[in-house]
Amino acid sequence: MEAGLERPAEEEGTTAMWLRKHRLMYTAATRHPFILSIRDGSVDLNSFKRWLGQDYLFVRAFVPFVSSVLLKACWESDDNSDMEVLLSSLAALNDEIAWFKKEASKWGVVLASIAPQRVNKDYCRFLKSSMEPGIEYTVAIAALWAIELVYQQSFAYCLEEGSRTPPELAETCQRWGNEGFGQYCQSLQKIADRQLPRATNEERKKAEAVLLRVLEHEVEFWNMSHG
């Protein structure tokens, strides 16, 4: 069973309920043909390189978004531990940027000469709109959780027993598919599930809509990489 869906029905949080309700979109985002091609070893390495360059640009745009969620946590959360979760997110992004640079040079990808494709620009525009002060903490944390979950679920799938992921891509899959990253996603999910029941109906609707937008953007991002 996929992450986020494992709790018994009587304890089910809002986020798990949404993942069940939107299972088709969730599966489209986490079991995309690009990911399946990594898992079965048939991945086109040019597609991988395209993903690498575009995702580096995305991650740079993701840093200010995560920072904005951290600021919202400082102002709006009544649980001190949210700050640590979001700080760990920023620390991981620091490592991630260094990793992208190292990985790009390994694959001969010149990051400085890469221009963002339209799909990437659209996704970064969505991130920017999600940073605005008017966006509630609950909505922003739901977006962050969904963005991280898609990568965690996708890359963890490429590491499962029976997968034939090429050894040179194993490190990439480990980056987001490792257990620690899975626990971090669960911490985000817990924050969202704590916030959502006390939010207004309007906020809850916005958070659910944001989940769907993230899943759509993620599918588009994989499509762009797959070529």
Annotated catalytic residues are 218
Rounded to a whole number of angstroms, the minimum distance from the CB of residue 141 to ligand NSP is 14
Query: Considering only residues 61, 70, 104, 147, which one is a binding residue for ligand NSP as defined by CB under 6 A?
Result: 147
Q: Which residue number, 82 or 148, has a Cβ lying nearer to ligand NSP?
A: 148
The answer to whether 53 and 177 have CB atoms below 8 angstroms apart is no
Retrieve residue 13's tokens. 């949080």
Q: Is 148 annotated among the ligand-binding residues? A: yes
Task: For residue 162, report the phi and psi dihedrals to the nearest 5 degrees.
Answer: 95, -10
Query: By beta-carbon distance, which residue lies closest to ligand NSP?
Result: 151
Alpha helices in 22-169 (DSSP H): 23-30, 33-39, 45-76, 81-107, 118-129, 137-157
Stretch that binds ligand NSP, among 2-10, 12-20, 29-37, 57-65 (CB under 6 A): 57-65
Q: Which residue number, 63 or 71, has a Cβ lying nearer to ligand NSP?
A: 63
The answer to whether 151 and 38 have CB atoms below 8 angstroms apart is no
Q: Does 148 bind ligand NSP (CB under 6 A)?
A: yes
Rounded to a whole number of angstroms, the minimum distance from the CB of residue 218 to ligand NSP is 6
Q: How far apart are the first and last CA of the chain?
A: 30
Q: Does 157 bind ligand NSP (CB under 6 A)?
A: no
Q: Does 114 bind ligand NSP (CB under 6 A)?
A: no
Residues 8, 25: Cα–Cα separation, whole Å: 22
Give the residue among 65, 218, 53 at the shortest CA–CA distance from 152: 218
Q: Does 38 bind ligand NSP (CB under 6 A)?
A: no
Q: Does 221 bind ligand NSP (CB under 6 A)?
A: yes
Query: Considering only residues 55, 103, 193, 208, which one is a binding residue for ligand NSP as defined by CB under 6 A?
Result: 55
Q: Number of residues interacting with ligand NSP: please give it, by CB under 6 A.
A: 10
Give the residue among 92, 101, 123 at the shortest CA–CA distance from 56: 101
Rounded to a whole number of angstroms, the minimum distance from the CB of residue 143 to ligand NSP is 11
Rounded to a whole number of angstroms, the minimum distance from the CB of residue 201 to ligand NSP is 28
Cβ neighbours of 165 (radius 10 Å): 22
The vertex-144 CA angle with 143 and 147, nearest 5°, equals 85
Query: Considering only residues 34, 58, 157, 181, which one is a binding residue for ligand NSP as defined by CB under 6 A?
Result: 58
Residues 45, 216: Cα–Cα separation, whole Å: 24
Please state the residue numbers annotated as binding site for substrate: 55, 96, 148
* Interacting residue ranges for ligand NSP, rule: CB under 6 A: 55, 58-59, 62, 147-148, 150-151, 218, 221
